Amino acid sequence: MADRKLHFETLQIHGGYHVDASQSRGIAIHPTAAYHFPTCEYAANLFTLSEAGYIYTRLHNPTTAAYEERIAALYGGVGALATASGMSAILLTVTALANAGQNIVASPYLYGGTHNQFVISLRNVGIECRLAASDSAEDMKALIDENTRALFVESMGNPTCRVADIEALAEVAHSHNIPLIVDNTFGAGGYLCNPFEWGADIITDSATKWINGHGTAMGGVIVDGGKFDWGCGKFPAIDGPSEGYHGLNLYEAFGKQAFIVKCRVDGMRDFGCCPSPFDAYLMMLGLETLSLRVKHEVESTYKLAEYCRNHPKVERVSFVGFDDHPSHKLAQKYFRHGASAVLTIELKGTLESTIKFVESLRLSGNMTMIGDSISVVTHPASTTHKQLSDEAKRAAGITPTLLRISLGLENVEDIIADYEQALEAI
């Protein structure tokens, strides 16, 4: 089978799966913080990165390593790094690329937490985030200068479901010798969308969502596509003497895996945002059924979107599977099935009536969550984007009556009946 490329559905089970000496079917959970060193020389080699092995679970763990291998296989990357959350994956990625006085250019259609990290927290450590007028290649290109170190977009904006033109953005980034980072959380672990196929260089993903799929663990991942030329002269921390490793050049030592190694041996070492081995184990369990879950959720989303589109109390339905959505053509290009398991609706009425609808639902959870086995309704204006200014909310497409809906694994007819009784209540 070595000469045959395995399908996604096979890799989500067999990627990173190695039968150990116990011959057990399940992946072992290694609840350990540290590891024995057979000799001092072996330990010294580990600490100088001249030999592979385990030092401390903050950096690496056998259970987490199997999970990372599976993620890299699903995306077709050269390596992956598991993190404690999607936000920490973004933080490690950006800080591996940009220093104080430098900047990144980002789409304005961002998850609220990402927006705050970029415009407040990174600014406070000297890294500027320039939010473009839109996620178009032209608008993002206009903000690039000699100090720009990356472009950042979400494959599908949260919660607007606006799809980025990944291929066009990759061309812009590469013409300026900088990488394109794509937050692919809505791409469902690579099953619905794989940005590497369209020129992206780095993928971040909130594994808390579809990868886990059951709301049982927090996590994030960084995946390295292995195709960016780190020897372009803009990234001396990757292609240059490393301060933390006695002048070691990561690009010379690790080649195509230099970026993901940088995130691990510098970012994870210094920021410590690692997942627990048990959480990594839960993520691997979730991955085994990823494609099956997402297929069901996408089909349910179509049905609920049709129902909402025909209801007199719904002002607007935004679903990329419909040909009237501004991103429909891009979704057809970049997303399998041309759709997602998320839609947004705007209700007729007021903020108060919208809240009453949400609180009248009996089956859908009122949570800040997507990609769960439970259907979820989120009111962004009072939750995920509450901290944004009114101007920033408008720029992100957030209105008082907007609801983000993530379909779960229930029978969709039961969900529709629940919506019907909740709409009758307003």
d(CA 186, CA 70): 19
CATH classification code of 291-424: 3.90.1150.10
Residue 152's DSSP bridge partners are 106, 181
Amino acid 2: pLDDT: 53
pTM for this prediction = 0.94
Amino acid 23: pLDDT: 83
Rama region for 103: left / alpha / beta (φ>0; ψ in -120 to 50; rest) = beta
Amino acid 27: pLDDT: 87
Amino acid 395: pLDDT: 65
Burial class (CB in 10 A: 0-12, 13-18, 19+), 253: middle
213, 290 contact by CB (below 8 A)? yes
d(CA 205, CA 186): 8
Amino acid 4: pLDDT: 67
Query: Which residues does 294 contact at the CB level (< 8 Å), separation at least 6?
Result: 188, 191, 192, 210, 341
Rounded-to-10 torsion of CA 281, 284, 285, 287: 160
Edge-to-edge order in the sheet of strand 220-224: 79-83, 220-224, 202-206, 180-183, 148-154, 103-106, 128-131
Per-domain residue ranges of the chain: 8-286, 291-424
For the chain, give the number of residues. 426
Look at the domain 8-286 and name its fold: Aspartate Aminotransferase; domain 2 (3.40.640)
d(CA 292, CA 299): 11
Residues lower than pLDDT 70 in the chain? 1-4, 384-388, 393-396
Amino acid 260: pLDDT: 98
Residues 38-65 have pLDDT tens digits of 999 999 999 999 999 999 999 999 999 9
H-type alpha helices, 158-239: 166-175
Residues 180-216 have pLDDT tens digits of 999 999 999 999 999 999 999 999 999 999 999 999 9
143, 169 contact by CB (below 8 A)? no
Q: Which residue has the tokens 């969550």?
A: 369
Is the bond preceding residue 236 a cis peptide, omega within 30 degrees?
no
SS3 250: helix
**Same CATH fold, 291-424 and 8-286?**
no
Amino acid 381: pLDDT: 80
Amino acid 248: pLDDT: 96
H-type alpha helices, 48-177: 62-75, 86-97, 112-116, 122-124, 137-141, 166-175
Amino acid 19: pLDDT: 82
Q: Which residues of 412-422 are buried (b: 16+ CB within 10 A; e: fewer)?
A: beebbebbeeb
